[in-house]
Structure 1
Amino acid sequence: MIDRQSGMLTSLGSRIPMTSLIQTLAVAEYLNFRHAANALGVAQSSVSARVKTLEEDLGILLFERHARGVRLTEAGRQFIERIAAGIDQLDHAVKTAGMAASGECGRLRIGVHALIPCSFLADLLAGYREDHPGIDIEITEGTARDTVTQLRADRLDVVFVAGSPELPDCHSRRIWAEPLVAALPDRHRLADQLAVTWADLAGETFLVRSGGTGPQAYDHIVLRLAGRWPTSSIQRFDVERSTLLSMVGQGFGITIAGAATTLLPTSGVVFLPFADEPEPVPFSAVWSPYNRSAALHNLLTLASDMGRPGSGGLISPAIRPGHSA
């Protein structure tokens, strides 16, 4: 159909007022102009005029009029069925868009270093899923470097990393903290102590993972043992956290970890706090300043609420010196 003003080919459907369609659907439901007008809260003459105009524009008789009301023609029935489906889809689209704008539906892509049951991060995600069941959560595990790279490539919405990174192109916020612990074989010479110092561990063989927080653990060990004698060795393994702890229990060496690691089921291992670590290990959320997702905003709000002092976010799992998990 040619638009008279622009001279361009346009579709008739794009020029039909939504009000006309809604009033036509009401007439089809009630099969009576007066009853349809009453249900819509408008004048009967308005409904009659709009339906008539629509029929003229379509060149189709939608209703057969009679004394007690109307009935749909076959063409009208076909038209109404498809228009009703279209209106339902439009209504669904509007509701879905509104829910997405408020963070009640959609997806959230999260990068983590690990997800330990009963840890702060696990509790955070459980609470978020309970509050926002319409959000699909996708979790990717990796090193801080890997997950931040994916964040910058817009493949993740937020990542949780150890430390307090200062990235010029990203926002970050400290969320929770955990004391650092040393994981030793239960047969180790220091296993019966209440705590350890870095000097106690000089000369030990340290095991770290290639993934997860392994690279950060490696750097921290090097920093703390620099210049100490005897020198320590650090061995990297491309294994899961549970496998690394199993290796500790079998006497391959020792490792360090955040206190949440003590929640994992492990045999042959003791976890001891450090007497000379100045402060707990912070864990931060990192996200793009261009990400305006309401779902992300809701997660960060919940994380900040849970991470406030007194809310449990900065209180790590209890560590009983010499306790074998």
Structure 2
Amino acid sequence: MSSPITLDALKVLDAIERKKSFAAAADELFRVPSAISYTVNKLEDDLGIALFDRSKRKAELTTVGKMIIEQGRLILKATDELTHMAKQSADGWESELRICIDSVLLFQPIYTLIAQFQKEYPWINIRVSEEVFGGTWDSLVADRSDLIIGATGDPYNSDFAVHPLGDIDFVFAVANDHPLVNEQPPVSNKTIKEYPSIVVADSSRNLPGRSAGLLDGQSRITVPTVEKKIEAHLLGLGVGYLPLFRIEAQLESGELVTIPLANDESRNSELSMAWRKDNQGKALAWFVNSIQEMAAELIEPS
């Protein structure tokens, strides 16, 4: 059953309400007043409902008329947006871009880029997710994301384009009141194993999980993100390596302390962003180009 409430009828009602008269609405829509009156009268007859109260000198909207206009404007807006999206999609623009950010990174620089993008392309939806270790690659392999930022290690197949973002350094750090602070440096692995290691859980659903900085036989406390790992370190719950650029403020304030280790090995990780080679979306290209220009900001303190 087709509805008598057509888009044209909604446009007429919208113009009448905004212009406060049938004649002014006719001028705006480039129609004669009789055509406006005919559209309104036919809609009222088809619905069996009065949209205007004509008992007064100047016709006023009824309660039902106001409701139809209020809801009708949402329909008109959605129709305009759909039309625009269809045209943009035909021109290579996605309706939505899914960005996955590894937990090791700061989100603020990406949020700044999103704000810039939205000013230019407000009709495109952005979906941001967070993954850890292999979970970042997993989201791309499983097609849960279009662009991953902060991935570590090699890509799992040749379907992906990869661009390096830079290296980040990790340091072994504990809370300033942790017992390890009072140990004679350099601290041995045997001593370290007496305390729980704070571990970020790999969020991969299908790919093999990854981990780093663990000693055999050491107990662990597993947390969901790097941010939560830093919080756990600050509370003195355990020990482990942390990305240096994420804790420079806490090291400077003395809340966290780096511990020299007997088996101290330089720990760093190369981060990359990756996307599917066959994805030719213009929104994806915009972010890829923009991130290449500001890659350093992703791994530096704000």
Asked which structure has the greater CA Rg, the reply is: 1
Q: Report if aligned partners of 1:177, 1:314 keep a CA contact under 8 Å in 2.
A: no
1:168-220 residue CA offsets vs partner (Å, 9 max, x unmatched): 386353352235355376666559xxxxxxxxx999968965435893535xx
CA-based RMSD of the aligned residues comes to 5.4
Partner Cα separation in structure 1 for residue 6 and residue 158 of structure 2:
46
Question: Which ranges in structure 1 are unaligned for 5 or more consecutive residues?
Answer: 1-9, 116-120, 192-200, 222-231, 318-325
Partner Cα separation in structure 1 for residue 265 and residue 257 of structure 2:
25
1:39 and 2:28 are equivalent in the alignment? yes
Partner Cα separation in structure 2 for residue 31 and residue 315 of structure 1:
57
Task: Find the residue that maps to 1:238 and give its secondary structure.
Answer: strand
The match for 2:104 is: 114
Residue type at the aligned position of 1:83: I
1:238 and 2:228 are equivalent in the alignment? no
Q: Report if aligned partners of 1:157, 1:296 keep a CA contact under 8 Å in 2.
A: yes
1:183 and 2:166 are equivalent in the alignment? no
Aligned residue-pair number? 265
Q: Report if aligned partners of 1:110, 1:139 keep a CA contact under 8 Å in 2.
A: yes
1:255-298 residue CA offsets vs partner (Å, 9 max, x unmatched): 655432552625342579xx997x96321234567888887665
Of the candidates 264, 267, 286, which is equivalent to residue 256 of structure 2?
Answer: 267
The match for 2:71 is: 86
Task: Find the residue that maps to 1:283 and give its secondary structure.
Answer: strand
The match for 2:212 is: 217
Partner Cα separation in structure 1 for residue 297 and residue 289 of structure 2:
13
Residue type at the aligned position of 1:71: A
Question: Which ranges in structure 2 are unaligned for 5 or more consecutive residues?
Answer: 174-179, 203-208, 224-228
1:304 and 2:299 are equivalent in the alignment? no
Q: Tell me which moved more, 122-131 or 238-247.
A: 238-247
Identity %: 19
Partner Cα separation in structure 1 for residue 16 and residue 300 of structure 2:
65
Task: Find the residue that maps to 1:180 and give its secondary structure.
Answer: strand
Partner Cα separation in structure 2 for residue 174 and residue 204 of structure 1:
40
Partner Cα separation in structure 1 for residue 24 and residue 38 of structure 2:
15
Q: Report if aligned partners of 1:33, 1:44 keep a CA contact under 8 Å in 2.
A: yes
The match for 1:227 is: none
The Cα of 1:87 is off from its aligned counterpart by: 1.8
Q: Report if aligned partners of 2:10, 2:73 keep a CA contact under 8 Å in 1.
A: no
Residue type at the aligned position of 1:215: R
Partner Cα separation in structure 2 for residue 147 and residue 95 of structure 1:
36
Q: Report if aligned partners of 1:208, 1:234 keep a CA contact under 8 Å in 2.
A: no
Q: Report if aligned partners of 2:151, 2:274 keep a CA contact under 8 Å in 1.
A: no
